[in-house]
Amino acid sequence: MNYLRCKCGAAEYFESGMPPQPCQGCSECGTTYAYAPDGHKPLIPHDPKPQFDRNTGEPDGGICKRCFRRIKRVQSEAA
């Protein structure tokens, strides 16, 4: 098992099979997880694949194509 950290050290990641994706990292310092202190790269946005509610067919957020993280539904209307 490999142990990775973000640049500021606030976020940690234990690699167990799947390596961290460039969209996974720390929201504090905005860097990805890396093995070495100089290996950090700027976080890139998730790339969600739209999901739809099984019953209503309504858009229901998405799942990131890279890290498979569930992304909450984005509010389309401006507040």
**Which residues form the interface with Zn ion (CB under 5 A)?**
6, 8, 10, 23, 26, 28-29, 46, 64, 66-67
Least distance (Å) between residue 56 CB and Zn ion: 25
**Which of residues 23 and 34 has its CB atom nearest to Zn ion in the complex?**
23
Q: How many CB atoms are closer than 10 A to CB 76?
A: 6
Q: Which is nearer to Zn ion, 13 or 77 (CB)?
A: 13
Give the shortest CB-10-to-Zn ion separation in angstroms.
4
Report the 10 Å Cβ neighbour count for 26: 20
CB 46 within 8 A of CB 61: no
Q: Residues 34, 5: contact at Cβ < 8 Å?
A: yes
Nearer to Zn ion, 10 or 74 (CB): 10
From the CB of 44, what's the least distance to Zn ion, in Å?
A: 8
Neighbours of 4 (CB within 10 A): 20
